[in-house]
Amino acid sequence: MKRLYTFLFLLLFSLQTSSLADDISDFQIEGMSVGDSLLEHFSNKIIIEASNSGFYYPKSDKFITIKIYQKIGKYDFFQFAIKLKDKNYVIYSLEGSKIYQHNIKRCINEQKKILLQLKSFFPNAKTTTDNSPHTYDKSGKSFTYETYYDLKDGGSIGVLCYDWSEKLTKKYNWKDNLKVVVDTQEFTSFLTKEAYK
């Protein structure tokens, strides 16, 4: 099926019909979409190398989250959730990240632009916003600015800005960044019901 939308970093949507706007698989970030095989976009070698340093969830081995540090278009790196034993590497969660180190104001301005555009496509979607200190940083000096749109098919699209403290930046090399996240219903359900319980 021909993709209905293209989601590039600065909201370059190609919308054919708003009546289909609740199908999460219709969105692309730099040509990639949930439901695709990662092999359509990266070599098997790159995927295996990323998997070797992937994140395993503490209570379930159903999914693994991997990062691929390859600049494509406007994004500096990508994160994917795939099933651990799936040799086709089907994407269940897709995340594009743009670094805004020491420029969180610019990150938030870009986030606002993206959210305004998303709101026009999903006027009836349930919206969740949370701007608060990041729970990982016990000092309270790191902040998360996040908004999610929950779609009718159970999937969600989120736009987030992370503002890390200088201490965490030095310790882990974490950089302030903007993320555009596309999650399937299956992966969202996994996170809430299996991954940590």
Sheet holding 177-183, edge to edge: 55-56, 63-68, 77-83, 93-99, 177-183, 156-163, 143-150, 126-133
> Cα(102)–Cα(176) distance, rounded to whole angstroms?
7
What are the per-10-residue average pLDDT scores of the chain (197 residues)?
Answer: 38 34 77 96 97 95 97 96 96 97 94 90 88 93 96 91 95 95 96 92
User: Do residues 91 and 99 touch, judged by C-beta distance below 8 A?
Assistant: no
Instruction: Supply the pTM of this predicted model.
Output: 0.85
